[in-house]
Structure 1
Amino acid sequence: MNDLVTSYLSTWNEQDVDARAKMLADHWADNASYTDPLAEAAGRDAISATIGAVHEQFPGFVFTPVGDADGHHRQTRFQWGLGPEGAEPVVVGFDVVVTNDQGRIETVLGFLDRVPPTS
């Protein structure tokens, strides 16, 4: 379970497009999908583009786990933070990751628990 969260957050932290594509190929299913309140992406290329957009919106920020992961069957839920490295997260979210029979990430359902105020 912790390996899944680590590889998931590492993918989100990867800024190099080619390195991120390799991580997606290694850990995510061909038909992977990602949905949160702000984005919906189907396929590795679209997920990579979504991750790239987050890096553009929050340059220099990193994703870190918040608390412990919990899971059963092929589902894992965990909370994460996004903020400057070593600082209190500016954004906090909660994701449910579902893997396929090969252990690759197939579906991600994301929720935002705390977001910065908009001006």
Structure 2
Amino acid sequence: MSDSLENLIVAHLDAWNAYAGPEREQAIKEIYSPDVLIGEPGASYDGHDGMTEAISGLQAQLPGTVITRTGPIQTAHDLSTYTWALGPTGQEALATGRDVLIVRDGKIASLYVLIDAP
């Protein structure tokens, strides 16, 4: 795995943990391709506006939580995946899952979110 991929995934998680505002909007433009696809259980979003909607929706549903990577990044060609936990800092996770990313030209082109069953 390259340092640039590691940095991209760190920036991706930072964007999901960031509050709404100009810094998060700028990060979205830098991290994700303009036509990024976000696939979540029961929902899908497109583009930078869709990414903003997905992040804002999660933060509204579970305020005060953060996403933390819990496993190594695994990569095959342009696909990368890792596990994560979502919850309040320093407390037990409310949810766990896996992100599956397609990276093209140094930006995330697709993000698929898989949530572990309780």
Give the % identical residues: 25
Matched, 1:105 2:108: yes
Aligned residue number for residue 44 of structure 2: 40
> CA separation in 1, counterparts of 2:117 and 2:59?
18
> CA separation in 1, counterparts of 2:69 and 2:41?
20
> CA separation in 2, counterparts of 1:48 and 1:39?
14
Question: Which blocks of at least 5 consecutive residues in structure 1 are unaligned?
Answer: none
After superposition, the CA RMSD in angstroms is: 1.3
Change (3 A) 1:74 1:82: same
Superposed displacement of residue 57, structure 1: 0.7
Question: Which blocks of at least 5 consecutive residues in structure 2 are unaligned?
Answer: none
Name which of 84, 92, 108 aligns with 2:88.
Answer: 84
| Moved beyond 6 Å, runs of 4+ | none
Superposed displacement of residue 47, structure 1: 1.2
> CA separation in 2, counterparts of 1:86 and 1:37?
26
Q: Which moved more, 1:11-20 or 1:60-69?
A: 11-20
Give CA deviations for 1:71-108 in whole Å, capped at 9, x if unaligned: 121111011111001222111111110011x2100011
